[in-house]
Amino acid sequence: MNPNAFPAAREMGLTSAEAALRLKLHGANRYKPEIKGAHLKELLKTLFDPMAVMLMLAAGTYFLLGDPRNGVILFIALIPVLGVDVVLDMRSQGALKKLAESMAPQARIIRDGREGLVPTEDLVPGDILLIKEGDKAYADGVLRQCSNFSMDESALTGESEPRVKRAMGESNPGGGFEEETLFFAGAQAMTGQAYGEVLRTGLETRFGEIVKLVAEEEGDETPLQKKTNRLVRGLGFAGGGVVLGVLVLELFRGMAFPKAFLSAVSLGIAAFPEEFPLVFTLFLSLGAWRLSRHGVLIK
């Protein structure tokens, strides 16, 4: 942006100290709502991993047979099994976090009387945001000065035509702002340039309200997830059929049911591809992160 375009903007803005205090007060400018009980759900998901369930069944059978030592050994064996799941999940989440950080957008603002770039997550109410043609707004605010400025708000309104904006220095007598003087997170500047004061960030923005509504709905699985789940289910049914066949065969040969059950469960633990979805996700996320380091962005 032309540094001489809006000289008045340099007289506005926050200091770094003020911005830090407001960041603590309002939180980071993020649009991902915190899901209550997410960590508990992940833990339960790990506990109900097919291999973990099979080990618990086998351990319970040993206890019923009056062999607590082997039962305890199998319960102890759950620790590395669950540990591998946790470590792989943490590594996958870490790779996704690094990928997100490498693609994190920046906003041009005025702070401490100087123009500079900051991560969009650090935007706070009161910041002076500079917007030029092609830029996206990452917060809601009011325009203080603009020149031939219009924005595409289709992501919020569905309207295909850009909306012409005008500046407004002060609020209306009623305490609000006219729609033409406001900019919204998710909108993109189509023509001109402007600067404005940030009023709302994160989930408090209009875009954030949409995100919260969408988050309340159950998301559909992607085609890749559906294919992967079908493959795992197919292999699981095949493995289950083999386990059942072994159980019936051992019983037919005269083996006691508990021992036959243990033999079948042991085969199922060895044959069932229970780690496939987790490992598959891990390698996809790691691959996307590594590609991003070479300038290739993968959704």
The secondary structure of 53-118 as a DSSP string is HHHHHHHHHHHHTT-HHHHHHHHHHHHHHHHHHHHHHHHHHHHHHHHHHHT--EEEEEETTEEEEE
Question: If DSSP states are collapsed to H, E and C, what string results for 143-162?
Answer: EEEEEEEEEECHHHHCCCCC
Beta strands in the chain (DSSP E): 106-111, 114-119, 128-132, 140-152, 163-164, 182-183, 188-200
Taking the C-alpha atoms of residue 204 and residue 184, their distance in angstroms, rounded to an integer, is 11
Q: Which of 24-28, 156-160, 186-190, 288-292 has the lowest mean pLDDT?
A: 288-292
Contact in structure between 200 and 157 (CB atoms under 8 Å)? no
Collapsed DSSP state (helix, strand, coil) of residue 48: coil
Selection from 6-20, 103-117, 169-183, 253-267 with the highest mean pLDDT: 103-117
Taking the C-alpha atoms of residue 141 and residue 199, their distance in angstroms, rounded to an integer, is 5
Q: What is the pLDDT of residue 277?
A: 59
Does residue 256 surpass a pLDDT of 80? Answer: yes
* pLDDT tier at 104, thresholds 50, 70, 90: low
Does residue 209 surpass a pLDDT of 60? Answer: yes
* pLDDT tier at 171, thresholds 50, 70, 90: very low
The average pLDDT across 89-112 equals: 70
Amino acid at residue number 17 = A
Does residue 227 surpass a pLDDT of 90? Answer: no
Percentage of the residues of the chain whose pLDDT score is greater than 90? 23
Residue 95 buriedness (CB in 10 A; 0-12 / 13-18 / 19+): buried
The average pLDDT across 209-222 equals: 68
Taking the C-alpha atoms of residue 138 and residue 24, their distance in angstroms, rounded to an integer, is 18
pLDDT digits (tens, 9 = 90+) for 16-51: 999 999 999 999 998 776 555 555 666 666 666 655
Taking the C-alpha atoms of residue 34 and residue 12, their distance in angstroms, rounded to an integer, is 33
Does residue 287 surpass a pLDDT of 90? Answer: no
Beta strands in 201-250 (DSSP E): none
Using a cut of 0.75, tell me whether the model's pTM lies above it: no
* pLDDT tier at 173, thresholds 50, 70, 90: very low
Contact in structure between 261 and 247 (CB atoms under 8 Å)? yes
Q: Which long-range contacts (CB under 8 A, 24 or more apart) does 81-90 make?
A: 81/49, 81/51, 81/52, 81/55, 82/46, 82/47, 82/49, 82/52, 84/275, 85/46, 85/49, 85/275, 85/278, 86/46, 88/275, 88/278, 88/279, 88/282, 89/42, 89/46, 89/278
